[in-house]
Structure formats: C-alpha cells, structure tokens
Amino acid sequence: MDVELLNDDRPAVSTVVTDERRPRKRGRKPANGREEPLNHVEAERQRREKLNQRFYALRAVVPNISKMDKASLLGDAISYITELQKKLKEMESEKDVQQNSPDVDVQMGNNEVIVHVSTPLETHPVSTVINVFKETQVDVVDSKFSASNNTVFHTFVVKTQSGSEQMTMGFFFSPLLTMACERKF
Amino acid sequence: MDVELLNDDRPAVSTVVTDERRPRKRGRKPANGREEPLNHVEAERQRREKLNQRFYALRAVVPNISKMDKASLLGDAISYITELQKKLKEMESEKDVQQNSPDVDVQMGNNEVIVHVSTPLETHPVSTVINVFKETQVDVVDSKFSASNNTVFHTFVVKTQSGSEQMTMGFFFSPLLTMACERKF
DNA sequence: AATCACACGTGAAGC
DNA sequence: TGCTTCACGTGTGAT
C-alpha cells in the first residue's frame, strides 16, 4: 500500500530548529526497506567495544581520575601528559647543564702533559663541601684529588684559624656529614 | 558494563523507517507536541561536541599519531603515557644515584682539619677525562684541585711514557676535548 | 561492492 | 523529578 516516497519526512524531524543544510540523496533505502545487513550493526558493535576497551586501558595509566566521566577522563589524560612532558623537559635541561659543563684544556710539554678541567661548581659533587667552607669562612690550605677504579677522592686540609678550638671546629664540620647527604643541588 | 541477556530487543528500534505514526505514548511531549523533548537531543549534541573537542586536544599533545582513527589515537596516547612514565622514572633513579653519592669523612687534628670526600666516578665531571687516561694507559703524576667563586678547576700532570713522542700524545689527547663535550654519562 | 569510521537521534539508567 | 551520561542501531561519506 505504502508505495509512496514519503520517507523524506524524516529530516523534518530534525529541522525543527534551524537545523542545517542537508545535501542528502533521494530514496536511499537498502532495497528491502526492512532488515539492515546485520553486518553493519555487528561491525559497529565491535568498533564501540574496542573504543571502550581503550578508554578502560587509559583509565589504568592515568592517575588521579577525578570523575568516571569519559570527557573528564580525556581531560585528565591531556593535563597529565602535558605535566609529564613539562617535568621531563625540566630534567633534560638540567642534564644538559651538567653535560655541557666540563671545559678541557691540554698543554703539551716535553716529558709531560698538563690537562686542565674546569666545571661549574653547582653541579660538582663537592659543591656542598665547598659551600660549607665558604659559609664558615675557613681557610683551605691544601686540596688533593685522586681517582681509583670507580671512585673519586677529594681531600681538603683546612687550617684552624687562630689556635685551634676543636669544639668550634666540630660545630662547624659536624653538619657537613649530614648536609652532604641531604642537600639537593 | 551491562551485559544484555535479552538480545531479542528489536521491537521499536528505528523510528526512521516506520516513523509516520506514533505507536507509543500519546501526547506526552511538552509544548511542541512534536518529537522528543528537543532538550535531550541538544544535550546529547553538546556532549558529543565536548567529547570530540577533547579528542582533538588529545591529538595536539600526543606526537607520532599513527592513524587519525579514534581508537588508534587512544592507543597511541596510552603507549605514549607509559613511555613518558618509564623515561621519567629512569631519570629520577639516576638523580637519586647522583644525590646519594658524596660520602664525607672529617678528621680533626690540633691545628688542622682534614676532610675526605669520596664519590662515584661515573657521575663526576672529570669522569670522561679519567676514563681517557685509563684507556690510553698513561701515568698521572700529579693532580690538583681548586675551587674559585663558582668554578672548579682540576689539573692533571701526565707523564709521557718512555721518552715523549708528542705526536703520539697529541693523538691521544686531541679526542679529549671533543669527547669531554660530547660523551653522555 | 564491501569495509571502515564517524555523527546522529533515541531509550534507558543513575543521580 | 529533571539532568547527565551511556550504548545502541542507523545513515552516510570515504577508501
């Protein structure tokens, strides 16, 4: 009975409020009018499942998920990524500072070669010790350096100012042990 | 989350095909008398838009997007996050190694105090130089150390083995300048 | 033609 | 009660 082509009244549904242009085509029903391919619906089902699976996996790697909402999850993931990127960039720049540091100069003589290495104090392992020397205003008489297999030794000889008061020096240097282990640089 | 055990649900599925009539509730909708609340459809529209917006933003922060596909995007984002986490964890552990390093020992005498500082060679600024010394098997006769305002100076006196051949030594030490600047440690 | 990926409107479930 | 979020089937443009 209904052989007419009035199936174009469907857009009338959505064009209630200034919907939009719709460059549709005519009579596009799959011949049967009934019964979609059933493949399509299944394929779409799988696509949805895969997507949700990824959402679930994303929740696993992003900490501090504020809400279970999908959009919020994506937002959290985005801010988390940018946060990681920022943190990593900072660390790499710090590394670069440490790597650009050593400045090497070689002087060759007849029987010997003299190698000068200068680096910024900040990133040097003994910086904390040196800084304590400066802060306490003690005189460094001598400083030695030696390297064994895989360890570097620095030895500093410090002169007690005006006749040595061991208690005072102990007061100065006891913080050294703890400072050297705690201080961040 | 919800598992459909009633898979026979295909009754009033598409209102598209058989839309001309209203098989369900009558005159239920407010004011418009026509279609669905129109709020709902608009709300859903906004939700979709927001979600896609987040997807677009996610594409901006994730590099190396293999395909424009949504699922692939999520997959790339996930692997990218885990990659960043891994990289960051490595760097932090390296930092910890550098911070735990300095080992300080203080010996107090009458007129002087001797401070020993030992650190692992790997992270020491002169490690590259020391390693070159080892690799070329030269003898380090003397090594001095001094620190000025904000710079540390290391001076190594190296003895030429068996009568000094400057060309050979130059061959040994010219790589030193470049190596010290390039090598990663 | 067949497949893929997307956006849409719609019913339902949780507050 | 309405508001929000979700899954679903479907239409459609690409490839």
Number of domains observed in the structure of chain A:
2
Predicted confidence band of residue A123 (pLDDT cuts 50, 70, 90): confident
Q: Give A9's contacts in chain B (Cβ within 8 Å).
A: 19-20
> What's the rounded Cα separation, in Å, for the pair A93 and A184?
17
B172 part of a folded domain: yes
Q: Is the pTM of this model over 0.75?
A: no
What does DSSP say about strands A151-159 and B103-108: parallel, antiparallel, or unpaired?
Answer: unpaired
Q: Which of B82, B98, B114 marks a domain boundary?
A: B98
> What's the rounded Cα separation, in Å, for the pair B180 and A98?
12
Min Cα–Cα distance to chain B from A73, Å: 9
User: By CA distance, what is A78's nearest residue in B?
Assistant: B58
Do A62 and A92 belong to one domain?
yes
Interatomic CA–C1' length for residue B131 and nucleotide C7, angstroms: 63
B34 part of a folded domain: no
A30 part of a folded domain: no
Select the residue of B16, B116, B176 nearest A155 (Cβ to Cβ). B116
Select the residue of A116, A144, A173 nearest B113 (Cβ to Cβ). A173
Q: Which of A98, A113, A140 marks a domain boundary?
A: A98
Do B132 and B69 belong to one domain?
no
Q: Give A14's contacts in chain B (Cβ within 8 Å).
A: 41
Do B130 and B66 belong to one domain?
no
Residue-level length of chain A: 185
What does DSSP say about strands B139-147 and B151-159: parallel, antiparallel, or unpaired?
Answer: antiparallel
Output the pLDDT for position B107: 82
Q: State both tokens at B84.
A: 């960043």
Helix, coil or strand: residue B128 = helix
Interatomic CA–C1' length for residue B157 and nucleotide C9, angstroms: 83
Q: How many CB atoms lie within 10 A of CB B39?
A: 9
Q: Where are the alpha helices (DSSP H) in A35-183?
A: 39-61, 70-100, 127-136, 166-182
Closest alpha carbon to C1' of C9, residue? B41
pLDDT higher than threshold 90 for residue A165: no
Distances (CA, A) of B72 to A61, B64, B178: 16, 11, 43
Domain of A113 in residue numbering reads as 102-182
- Please indicate whether residue B124 or residue B25 has the higher confidence score (pLDDT): B124
Q: Where are the alpha helices (DSSP H) in B38-165?
A: 39-61, 70-100, 127-136
Do A159 and A123 belong to one domain?
yes
> What's the rounded Cα separation, in Å, for the pair A139 and A126?
16
| DSSP code, position A123 | T
> What's the rounded Cα separation, in Å, for the pair A69 and A87?
27
A15 part of a folded domain: no
Q: Give A149's contacts in chain B (Cβ within 8 Å).
A: 121
Do A91 and A108 belong to one domain?
no
A161 part of a folded domain: yes
Phi-psi sector, A116: left (phi>0), alpha (psi -120 to 50), beta? beta
Do B89 and B107 belong to one domain?
no
Predicted confidence band of residue B160 (pLDDT cuts 50, 70, 90): low
Output the pLDDT for position A174: 56
> What's the rounded Cα separation, in Å, for the pair A34 and A30?
8
| DSSP code, position B175 | H
A48 part of a folded domain: yes
B9 part of a folded domain: no
Do B156 and B115 belong to one domain?
yes
Do A93 and A108 belong to one domain?
no
Angle at B112 between CA B111 and CA B117, to 5 degrees: 170
**Tens digit of each residue's pLDDT (9 = 90 or more) over B41-52:** 999 999 999 999
Min Cα–Cα distance to chain B from A39, Å: 15
Do A76 and A93 belong to one domain?
yes
Do A115 and A86 belong to one domain?
no
Q: Which of A75, A98, A121 marks a domain boundary?
A: A98
Do B51 and B115 belong to one domain?
no
Lowest mean pLDDT among A39-43, A118-122, B74-78: A118-122
